[in-house]
Structure 1
Amino acid sequence: MHLIFITVLLALSNANAFVNKQKELRVTAFSWQNCGPSSDPVQIKSLTASPDPVLVPGNLTLTLTVNVASTIPVDTHAALTMERKVGGFFVKIPCVDNFGSCTYGDLCKDWASACPKYFEKYGIPCSCPIPPKTYTISDAVIDIKGHLPSVGDGEYRITADLGSSAAHLGCIKLQVTLKSD
């Protein structure tokens, strides 16, 4: 659960590297779904984001409930696939400077550094292994800094696929539409 969320946070925070102080982006559409089999041990039960629309830069408030049915191990990794709709088709965005369709090999290390800032106050473990439990994060506020360039307008699909050396853990697919002001 945490690791899916940290994967999404990594994508958002790495987007801050593309700075253009003359445009703001609005998230005008947002949806999500679990994309792995129902037997995956990590299943998101609910996810909401506000305000609607979300402004970049600005504050993003998330509420999330995730069921973790078995221990999330130390060797957890994530494959993040980002796609942009171009001419009616989704085209994969390559991994450049840790932004785009990237693989994050040591997700537990990234989680350990981001978790205390955002999630420790919710009683969520900030180190792996993460024990089985249903975890809820209510109204977590994340400050998205920087600006994204106007070329960021469009419809995006982001898929975070989690696994370890022992098993597939979970998958979430986000659909986001960005529009510049």
Structure 2
Amino acid sequence: MCRKMMFNLAVIVLCANGYLGYTPFRLTDCTSSPNRVVTVSGRLLDHPVRIPGHVRAPTTVVIHRPVNSGIRLDVTVEKFIFFDYFALPCVSRVGSCSYDACELLGRYDNKCPGQLRDSSFPCTCPFRDGEYNLQAFPFNVPNVRGPWSFLAYGDFRVTGRLVNITSGEEVNCYSVEFTVQSAAISSPWSLWDCEVRLYTAIGSLSSLLLDPSATSPPVINMQHIVCFVAALSLASATLKFQLHECHTQNPILHLSNPHLSADPVHIPGPETGDVDVQILRPVDGSYTLDVHVQTHVLFGFVDVPCISNLGSCSYDLCGILSGQQFNNTHHCPLEIAASSPDFPCACPFDAGNYHLNPTTFQIPELSGLLKWLASGDYKVHFTIKNTRTSEVVACYDVQFTTAADCSGISCLFGRKRVSKRNAFGVAFTVDI
């Protein structure tokens, strides 16, 4: 039994340790159409790609027939996460997006980057047929900040497909695989360094497990132990539901006495809540709601980008509270209309004191990338701003934990978490 447990642990450790290795650069022609537009060959001289840094990519492009317009570029960006590649969403026209190829290149307005000009390499439509060679000039890779910084490092696969907009025929397909790494470590105790130390220790232990007779002991020091303890303690953090009001000079509302029946919030599942709302003056259509969402990932909180109008997004307040889809007195969801008939849900709002009685909502199951984020600790900062004066008239911080029928990477594989009891009656959970 002990031997089997050691073997299973070794396999898990090897999988985790293997993730530290990087994918060799690979350019693959996946074109199946006989009517291809271009043929591309090239290599990456600076690999892994380092951020910030530079890359040199000598490339030869053969254009088989003139390209004027009518070509769509479909891009799929995938990131390797433990055992497989998973597609990243299209956020702010970055990621797995579709573009009009000539419109996308039109931003250069016949002013190509110097590296392309010096190679006589065209970068805007129309393209004449012929062979073009990009020399090994360095391109600057800037630092990545904001929501994408969390996803900037790792192994990637990017697939680009050219589609004839008129006929719908895919005329070209290329896939490129590469690795992106951080250019530098700022200090011996940076978070990136701590992760490297942690995986190094795991790798050393895996070697010992696979070969107990090895004479060289694993290289593990106090820094490895500190990083490991920090990872366990931070990864297991759980936030109790709390709502705090930030200071504002001229608030338009007050929220108080909020309660949730289930803490942590279960996704999917029912959640019952109630709250007191005091509206200090009338609210019309001149306000915006800005939401900043962060989730806890191992060593700290990272920003959640705005995906499908969910996450760190900005909204027109009365736009999302129009209530047009609800045909009742206060244009409320049926759950609120049944529990709190006098509670207003749609603009405009009159000044007054309102109470939302305990109301049960059914939280639906999430899908795609959002499903991976269904379980974890969250902090949400939201503000309401007067668009006429730019004054912040409401500010709140919320923290809470969500739980799901799956956890982390198992959500992406469709596995579920179930509760069981052992022979001694002790409860535990497993992913199946």
The aligned counterpart of 1:96 is: 307
The residue that corresponds to 1:50 in the other structure is: 261
**Residue in structure 2 matching 1:116, options 314, 318, 332:** 332
- Alignment partner of 1:81 is 2:292: yes
SS for the counterpart of 1:119 is helix
Say whether residues 1:171 and 2:401 are aligned partners.
Answer: no
Q: Secondary structure at the match of 2:360?
A: strand
Looking at structure 1, the residues matched to 307 and 372 of structure 2 have their Cα atoms a distance apart, in angstroms, of 18
Q: Which amino acid aligns with 1:55?
A: H
Q: CA deviation at 1:178?
A: 2.7
How far apart are 1:111 and its partner, in Å? 1.4
Any idea what SS the aligned residue of 1:109 has? helix
Structure 1 residues without counterparts, runs of 5 or longer? 1-26
Superposition deviation, residue 55 in structure 1: 2.0
**Structure 2: which amino acid aligns with 1:137?**
L
Structure 1 residues 83 and 53: alpha-carbon distance in aligned structure 2, compared to 1, 3 A threshold: closer
> 1:54 is aligned with what amino acid?
V
**Are the equivalent residues in 2 in contact too, given 1:73–1:164 (CA < 8 A)?**
no
Distance 2:354 2:312 in 1: 27
On the 8 A contact 2:265/2:402 being kept in 1, the answer is no
2: distance between equivalents of 1:51 and 1:150?
21
CA distance in structure 2 between the aligned counterparts of 1:108 and 1:142, rounded to whole angstroms: 22
* 373, 376, 381: which one aligns with 1:159: 381
Q: State the Cα RMSD in Å.
A: 2.4
AA aligned opposite 2:377: E
For residues 53-64 of structure 1, the aligned pairs below 5 Å read 53-64=264-275
Number of matched residues?
154
What TM-score, normalized to structure 1?
Answer: 0.73
Q: d(CA) in 2 for partners of 1:151 and 1:130? A: 33
Q: Which aligned segments of 4 or more residues in structure 1 are displaced greater than 6 angstroms?
A: none
* Structure 1 residues 89 and 55: alpha-carbon distance in aligned structure 2, compared to 1, 3 A threshold: closer
TM-score, structure 2 normalization? 0.33
Unaligned runs of 5+ in 2: 1-237, 405-416, 418-432
Q: Specify which of 358, 366, 382 is matched with residue 139 of structure 1.
A: 358
Contact 2:267 2:402 in 1 (8 A): no
Partner of 1:3: none
Tell me: CA distance 1:94–1:136, structure 2 relative to 1, closer, same or farther (3 Å).
same
**Cα distance between partner residues in 1 of 2:322 and 2:249:** 27
Judge conservation of contact 1:93–1:100 (CA < 8 Å) in 2: yes
Q: Taking structure 1 as reference, are residues 145 and 153 closer, same or farther at Cα in structure 2, changes over 3 Å only?
A: closer
Higher Cα Rg: structure 1 or 2? Answer: 2
Give 1:56's aligned amino acid.
Answer: I
Q: Which amino acid aligns with 1:170?
A: A
For residues 249 and 279 of structure 2, what CA distance do their matches in structure 1 show?
Answer: 12
Q: 1:154 to 1:41 in 2, by over 3 A?
A: same
Q: Per the alignment, do residues 57 and 131 of structure 1 end up closer, same or farther by CA in structure 2, a change over 3 Å counting?
A: same
Instruction: Indicate if the aligned counterparts of 2:254 and 2:279 stay in contact, CA closer than 8 A.
Output: yes
CA–CA distance in structure 1, aligned partners of residues 249 and 386 of structure 2: 17
Report the CA distance between 1:129 and its aligned residue: 2.2
Aligned partners of 1:99, 1:62: CA distance in 2, in Å?
21
Q: Where does 1:18-33 land on structure 2 (aligned, <5 Å)?
A: 29-33=240-244
Following superposition, the deviation at residue 151 of structure 1 comes to 4.6
Alignment-derived partner of residue 9 in structure 1 = none
